[in-house]
Amino acid sequence: MTHTPPKYVAWTRDQMAARIANDIEDGAVVNIGIGMPELVANHLSPNKEILLHSENGILGMGPKPAADAVDPDLINAGKQPVTLLDGGAFFDHSLSFAMMRGGHLDIAILGAFQVAENGDIANWSTGKPGAIPAVGGAMDLAVGARQVFVMMEHLTKDGQSKLVHRCSYPLTGLGCVTRVYTDLAVLDVTGDGFAVRELCEGLDLATLQDLSGLTLKAA
Amino acid sequence: MLSKIKASALEALSDVTDGATVMVGGFGNAGMPMELVDALIEQGARDLTVVSNNAGNGTTGLAALLAAGRVRKVICSFPRQTDSFVFDELYRAGKVELELVPQGNLVERIRAAGAGIGGFFTPTGYGTPLAEGKESRVIDGRGYVLEYPIHADVALIKGRLADRWGNMVFRKTARNFGPIMASAAKVSVAQVEEVVELGALDPESIALPGIFVSRVVAVGKPAARSAA
């Protein structure tokens, strides 16, 4: 080691979600992926109008309903009950995926196993033999949204960096990630690798580079 | 007189043959035509290829068809879910084949079949394992994969209301794949809560024109809403 690693305090998932929510502009059309990104919905400011898209045919999706107002015909991509805001619309799957693939969504927020410094993302399969693969709409969001935000832990449980030079897991999309929010840092994907926008408290760039096994730039 | 109304789900499915390709609407259980799938189980056709977004939830609908051993192959985008244990077990035992298709490619392949398109280039999946072995092309600097249509012998879909010409309206997110699948099958069978008189549906709100619907069966409202 070339330096003494400082003590740092990783962000909680809610803190990560709050950072993402804060970066979404008023009026944006956003698709929030299944899993960790779902927390972002809890942090959207009531002072912004953010239009949530759900792949199964909703634009203007609202929060989950009260227990006595659950409607099995009104669910989100995770198949959980939701509501429709005033001004919201329903449509079929073809139109929904035209919105996604056709570049009409401002932001997609995805979870991931790995993000590479060229913007590649792997988030649908670990490629393990015997695992049942499932991809859903992840590949459409990856190629279609104008900006792709990834929300994930920086390290795997055994300390491997999920930010990588090139993905080793099966790819979801090529060169499509624009920004990564981890529990340690916020990074932009640039034509020249990752640029660090923000670090969690107590962390410095050199330590993050060591943890990531990558050369990182300051934004 | 043009009437597509059938007296029962079983009657509407009497001619489904062994080996047929069957599209089943629904995203999870929203839009899943439960009564039609139950009738298909009773009807007895085997060796089916099923095209649906998921591969069954819990023990009803598509999961029940799988459990009955009628399905040879599933073409879907998202088989693995917390409640997909019926499919999981069959797949791990090698008793059902899986063709995994990204969801947007699945719906576009179905749409292409209904719209008379012979194939299309899509950016979705380009450069990933799901495009392996497929023709690809760079158009205006962007990579695309050639995908072909998925045709079906039968589509089973669920709507809210229909008239005897087969015009249909849907309910909330239960619309999903319904209108698209209906266009891609030789015979499309719709279950609806209620059949209404011609002219009762607002023509501006018809989400599936009757030309795409072959047969209609009224199955009544779900208990939760008929009580309200």
Classified by CATH at the fold level, domain A13-218 comes out as Glutaconate Coenzyme A-transferase (3.40.1080)
Q: Which sequence spans correspond to the domains of chain B?
A: 16-119+149-221
Q: How far is CA B188 from CA B16, B25, B157, B211, B222, in A?
A: 11, 11, 8, 10, 22
Cα–Cα distance between A197 and A187 in angstroms, integer?
Answer: 5
Q: How confident is the model at residue A2 (pLDDT cuts 50, 70, 90)?
A: low
Give the pLDDT confidence score for residue B226 in this predicted structure.
75
Please give the residue of chain B at the shortest CA–CA distance from A132: B80
Q: Does B165 touch chain A (CB under 8 A)?
A: no
CA B188 to chain centre: 9
- Whether B132 contacts chain A with CB within 8 A: no
Q: Does B33 touch chain A (CB under 8 A)?
A: no
Q: What is the pLDDT of residue B223?
A: 81
Q: Which of B100, B111, B222 sits opposite A133 (nearest CB)?
A: B100
pLDDT above 80 for A4: no
Q: Average of pLDDT values for A213-219?
A: 95
Cα–Cα distance between B65 and A214 in angstroms, integer? Answer: 50
CB crowding B154-173: b at 16 or more within 10 Å, else e: bbbbbbbbbbbbbbbbbbbb
Q: Is A206 on the interface with B (CB under 8 A)?
A: no
Pick B104's closest partner by Cβ from A84, A97, A125.
A97
The beta-carbon contacts of A186-193 under 8 Å, at least 24 apart in sequence, are A186/A19, A187/A163, A187/A216, A187/A219, A188/A219, A189/A115, A189/A117, A189/A118, A189/A119, A190/A217, A192/A217, A193/A117, A193/A217
Q: Nearest-CA distance from B40 to chain A in Å? A: 23
Cβ contact, residue pair B125, A73, below 8 Å? no
CATH code, residues B16-119+149-221: 3.40.1080.10
**Catalytic positions of A, written as ranges:** 55
Give the global pTM. 0.96
Tell me what the mean pLDDT of segment A10-21 comes to: 98
pLDDT of residue B225: 80
Res B70: pLDDT: 98
Q: Chain B, 65-84: which have a CB under 8 Å from a chain A CB?
A: 77-81
Q: Chain A within 8 Å of B38 (Cβ-Cβ)?
A: no
Q: Can you give the pLDDT at residue B227?
A: 62
In chain A, where the domains are located:
13-218
Per-residue pLDDT 10s for chain B (228 aa) are 999 999 999 999 999 999 999 999 999 999 999 999 999 999 999 999 999 999 999 999 999 999 999 999 999 999 988 899 999 999 999 999 999 999 999 999 999 999 999 999 999 999 999 999 999 999 999 999 999 999 999 999 999 999 999 999 999 999 999 999 999 999 999 999 999 999 999 999 999 999 999 999 999 998 878 765
Amino acid identity of B192? V
Which residues, numbered 41 to 60 in chain A, qualify as contacts with chain B under a Cβ-Cβ cut-off of 8 Å? 54-58
- The whole-number average pLDDT for the span A53-63 is 97
Mean per-residue pLDDT over chain A, rounded: 96
B150 contacts in A (CB within 8 Å)?
none
Q: What percent of chain A has a predicted confidence (pLDDT) above 90?
A: 94
Looking at residue B224, its pLDDT comes to 77
CB contact under 8 A, B81 and A79: yes
A130 confidence band (pLDDT: 50, 70, 90):
confident
Per-residue pLDDT, B129 = 97
A139 and B222 within 8 Å at the Cβ level: the answer is no
Asked if the model's pLDDT at residue A1 lies above 60, the reply is no
**What pLDDT does residue B93 have?**
96
Residue from B124, B157, B170 whose CB has the most chain A CBs within 10 Å, to mutate: B124
